[in-house]
Structure 1
Amino acid sequence: MNLTKSFKRAAAAVGLGVLSAGLLVGGAGSASAASTTPYRLTLCSYGNYYSYAQLPQQGGQTTFSVAPGKCTTIGLYSSTTYAAVLGKWGGNQYSFYIATVPVYPSRGSLIETFGTVTNPYVYYSN
């Protein structure tokens, strides 16, 4: 019987450890503002500047200008293959190029901008 109690206690401790680890991993995952959704492009701005994306294959459609710490989502046409990612500075008066990234509408796309006006960079996932 002592062995059974010891086993139950060990199993409970392991289960609690797994649960705690799951919460930590889940918490880290939820810190990311968004995930991909088919036929949607989500742009999140994490730098010290506003950012936006242009989609030339969608008639030049542009996302809203996204403030630092915020995200926006727009629909994607099935023929869209890339997005130009830009930043804004000077009270949103001046634009600067950051990158051109591939877009896969059937999988959805997430674009995240980081850094500063003088050293911007982008991560994307499809």
Structure 2
Amino acid sequence: MSLNADDSKRKYYKEWYEKNKDKRKAYNVTNKEQVREWHMKNRERVLEHKRKYREKNREKELIRHKKYFEANRERLLARARLNRELQKHRAKDPSAEPPKRRRRFPRTPVVPCSTPIQMQMAYILN
């Protein structure tokens, strides 16, 4: 199996990104504001790129969605049932409190952070 130029370039960049993860994170933190400004200045270009990417990868995206829905079918159906019940409840008495949702697991943060700054940094870096 021979790799064409695009595949070998993609492989090279993927390996490079993996190897230089920390360097990239530090760079992204320091240049976040500059990147945001560039995106705002070149908004048309960014949106055009996004549209082209979506068109190009539409099949992959559909397959990814299909896999997600197959894997989480029960949970999604349970949520849909709960939402239907809530809508019925609201239709009968709009001023009434909706029934409380029961959580199987207590909600815990993905990254344990004690301060908002740590939370922001965790969000940016992850």
* Rg (Cα) greater in structure: 2
Question: What is the TM-score of this pair, normalised by structure 2?
Answer: 0.18
Q: Which of 1 and 2 has higher RCO (CA within 8 Å, sep 6+)?
A: 1
Q: Given the two structures, how large is their TM-score scaled by the length of structure 1?
A: 0.18
